[in-house]
Amino acid sequence: MKRWRILFILSFLLLGSIFLSCSNPSGSNSEASHWTIQKSGTTANLSSVVFVNNEKGWVVGENGTILHSKDGGKTWNPQKNSTDADLFSVDFINAQEGWAAGSQNTFLHTRDGGHSWSVISQNGEKTILDIDFITKDKGWSVGTFQDVFKTDTGGAQWESQSTESTFNWTSVFFLDPRVGWATSMRGDIIHTLDGGKTWKGQIRIILPLAAVHFVDALIGWSGGAGGKLLSTQDGGETWVEQNSGVEANLWGLVFVDRQLGWVVGEKGSILHTTDGGQQWVQSPSGTHEDLWNVTFSDASHAWAVGHGGTILRYAR
């Protein structure tokens, strides 16, 4: 089942009909409004985006779609691969080494910036929803299965890491080879200090959480259904709710540092903060399409992707 359908169905069942209700506090930062629509050349749903610098980036999505830009998104070109599986996550550690993953337990790898993609695995009914690599060998994956999976071989082999908690993990984020977090469709946030050998539950809110991001070992955020935004200043030992000002589902979240961050979600919603989330401001996106993921290359350049081939670029 496609990620956008999974998240929408679960949030609908839990929340009922959800509508957008954004606040726009006075004194909002005008820098938050510099989003423009880019021509993706596709109508496929786009699930994930990554940039390694201000110019080079990749997007993945429905039916094996992989797009690449060398000019900051002014032009996007498809990259050939041998899968038609829906791809839900992409990650690059430099301009050459990258991975993509998705439905049918599909996992792809490139060593040449996507000129060629090799299929490492493609079998089964499991869906990989998120991957996170910190070196060319070491990475983690989560999805519609109970455990977190880790690789020390660049994705060639994977080992199961028991969470002893739930299933349908939606996102995974590691700061270094030992410290990481993951979120679930049931509203769990789990944490590891030993590379995933042991995972400890930190919170459960009974609402789907779709993203987690930390800027250091203490400061992090998570977001999900119904406009839910959580923050922590102690590595996740305690999580507190932030006022997002929306009831829309929030699916993508990223921070540049302790102050500057973006969240994207349902019906083209984009929220922006310059004070670590004490105040979230609605940013005009120019689209009503659902947005699924957001990334940045620096404080002045960010990209978001979503339904129907939508790609947005932020620049100031």
Beta-bridged to residue 152, according to DSSP, are: none
- State the DSSP string of 224-291: EGGG-EEEESSTTSS-EEE--S--S-EEEEEESSSS-EEEEEGGG-EEEESSTTSS-EE---S--S-E
260-300 pLDDT tens trace: 999 999 999 999 999 999 999 999 999 999 999 999 999 99
Give the E-state strand segments of 95-248 in sequence order. Answer: 98-102, 107-110, 118-121, 128-133, 139-143, 148-151, 159-161, 169-174, 180-184, 188-192, 200-204, 209-214, 220-224, 229-232, 240-242
Give the CB-side neighbour count of residue 219, counting CA atoms within 13 A.
Answer: 13
pLDDT digits (tens, 9 = 90+) for 101-146: 999 999 999 999 999 999 998 888 899 999 999 999 999 999 998 8
Lowest-pLDDT range, 141-155, 160-174, 185-199? 160-174
Rounded average pLDDT over 171-183: 97
Reply yes or no on whether the pLDDT at 8 is more than 50. Answer: no
What domains are there in the chain, each with its CATH number? 3-315 (2.130.10.10)
